[in-house]
Amino acid sequence: MVHRTMFLPYRMEIPVMTDTLSRTEYDRLHYLGGAGPATDLDPDTTGRWQHENPDWKARYWRYSLIEEDSELLRPEPINVTSRAKDPR
């Protein structure tokens, strides 16, 4: 009898796309306490997020629901668009 062993990585990482908010939406969330600059967070958290989300610009975060029917929130990384320039 031949035993075959298949080796799989301990943890398979799937790249996650970081959500992008408009500057207006971010400003509203920040005003209400639901978002903020990455400097408010622990450096270990931002380092982990940068590893898990390579497209994150490491500047902003927001709270999001853990599940749709939950009231529990968790912080997550976000990107924010630049302000629109006023045509002159």
Do residues 54 and 26 lie in contact, with contact meaning Cβ atoms separated by under 8 Å?
Answer: no
Residue 86 in any domain: the answer is: no
Please tell me the predicted confidence (pLDDT) of residue 14.
Answer: 61
Residue 88 in any domain: the answer is: no
Check whether 34 has a pLDDT greater than 70: yes
Q: Is the pTM of this model over 0.85?
A: no
Residue 11 in any domain: the answer is: no
Please tell me the predicted confidence (pLDDT) of residue 82.
Answer: 87
Which structural domain, as residue segments, surrounds residue 63?
19-80
Give the residue with greater pLDDT, 82 vs 12: 82
Residue 23 in any domain: the answer is: yes
CA dihedral 54, 60, 65, 66 (to 10 degrees): 40
CA–CA dist 88, 65 (Å, integer): 41
Residue 65 in any domain: the answer is: yes
Mean pLDDT of 17-32: 95
Could you tell me how far CA 73 lies from the centroid of its own chain? 13
Please tell me the predicted confidence (pLDDT) of residue 1.
Answer: 47
CB atoms within 10 A of CB 56: 22
